Structure 1
Amino acid sequence: MSVAEPRRIVLFRHAKADWPQVSDHERPLADRGRTDAAVAGRRLADTGIPFDLALCSTAARTRETWKLAVHEFPHRPKTVYEERLYEASPGELIAVLNETPDDAQDVLLIGHNPGIQGLADVLTGQADGEARARMTERGFPTAAFAVLSFDGSWKSLEPGVATLIDYWAPTE
C-alpha cells in the first residue's frame, strides 16, 4: 500500500449497552444494541471499504458490537483489542492511530463516546456537506459511524488533516 493513496478511518461507536449490576467495562449490549450492531455491520459492509485492521476497545459492549458487525463483512480484517481505547480522549485515540503500521490502508476503530465523537470533530478539517449536516444533526448516538479520509502516513495523523466523507447512524 502506498502512503500516497488516501487512507480511511472509520470511527464506530459501540451499540446500545444494557445497565446490569456489573462494572462499566463489563456492560453487555441491550437487545436494541444487538440489533443495531448487525444493521451497522451491514451498512459498513455496504461502504465497500476493505478494512485491513480493526482496533477495538476491550470493553464488553465494544467487543460484542464488533462480533455482531463483522459477521456482516465479506472478509474479517485483522482485529486488535486495545485497552487504551476504553475511556480514551481524542488525543489518546490519535496516539493509538499514530502507531498503526503503514501497510494498513483502511482502519476501523470501535470505541466509546465522548472520545469517538470528539475524534471525528478534531480530525475533520473538511467535510462533505451532507455528511457534516447529518453528523451535526444527529450527534454520535450508539452504533453510529463516521468515515474519514486523509493523506499521509499514520504517524502524520493529527487534528484537522482528515475529510469527513460519510456518516451513518441508526434510526431511533
Structure 2
Amino acid sequence: MSVAEPRRIVLFRHAKADWPQVSDHERPLADRGRKDAAVAGRKLADSGVPFDLALCSTATRTRETWKLAVQELPQRPKTVYEERLYEASPGELIAVLNELPDDARSVIMIGHNPGVQGLADILPGRSEGDARERMNRRGFPAAAFAVLSFDGSWKSLEPAVATLLDYWAPTE
C-alpha cells in the first residue's frame, strides 16, 4: 500500500461504565454501556470502514466495549491491547499512532476521555458536512466515535492534518 493512500482513524470512547468498589482501571460496563456498545458496533459496521487494526486500552470497560462492538462488524480486525491508551493525553495518543506500520490503512482506537475527545478536537483541520457541529454540540459522551481521514504515513500524523468525516453518539 502506498503511503499516499488516505488512512482512516476511528476514535471510539468506551461505553458507559459502572462505579463498583474496584480500581478505576477495573471498572466494568454498566447495563446501558453494554447496550450502547452493541449499537455503536452496528453504526461502525454501517460506516463501511474495514478496520486493519484495533488499538484498545487495557482497562476493563474498554475491553468490554470492544468485545461487544466488534461482534457487530463484518470482519474482526487484529486487536492490540495497549497499556499506553489508559489515561493518555492527545499527544500521547498521537505518539502511539505515529508508531503504526504503514500497511495499516484503517485503525480504530478504543480509549478514554479526556484524551479521545481532545484528539478528536485537534486532529481535524477540516470537517465534512455538519460532523464538527454535531461533535461540538454533543461533546464526546460514552460510546461516541469520530471517523477521520488523512493522507500520508502514520509518522506524519499531527494536529490539523485530518478531515473529520463523521461523528456518532448514542441518544440519551
Query: TM-score, with normalisation over the residues of structure 1?
Result: 0.99
1:87 and 2:90 correspond: no
Q: In structure 2, give the amino acid aligned to 1:92.
A: E
| Partner in structure 1 of residue 100 of structure 2 | 100
Post-superposition Cα deviations, 1:82-129, rounded to whole Å, max 9, x if no partner, equal: 000000000000000000110000000000000000001111111114
Aligned-pair Cα RMSD in Å: 0.5
| Partner in structure 2 of residue 71 of structure 1 | 71
Q: Give runs of aligned pairs for residues 122-141 of structure 1, distance below 5 A.
A: 122-141=122-141
SS at match of 2:12: strand
| Partner in structure 1 of residue 28 of structure 2 | 28
Q: Whole-Å Cα distance in 2 between the matches of residues 139 and 44 of structure 1?
A: 18
Runs of 4 or more, structure 1, over 4 Å off, are none
Identity of aligned residues (%): 85
Q: Whole-Å Cα distance in 2 between the matches of residues 122 and 93 of structure 1?
A: 12
SS at match of 1:109: strand
SS at match of 1:142: coil
Post-superposition Cα deviations, 1:35-92, rounded to whole Å, max 9, x if no partner, equal: 0000000000111101000000000000000000000011100000000000000000
| Partner in structure 1 of residue 110 of structure 2 | 110
Q: Whole-Å Cα distance in 1 between the matches of residues 139 and 99 of structure 2?
A: 28
Q: Whole-Å Cα distance in 2 between the matches of residues 5 and 134 of structure 1?
A: 27
Q: Whole-Å Cα distance in 2 between the matches of residues 128 and 81 of structure 1?
A: 31
In the TM superposition, what is the alpha-carbon distance from 1:3 to its structure 2 partner? 1.0
Structure 1 segments unaligned to the other structure (5+ residues): none
Aligned length: 172
Q: In structure 2, give the amino acid aligned to 1:45.
A: A
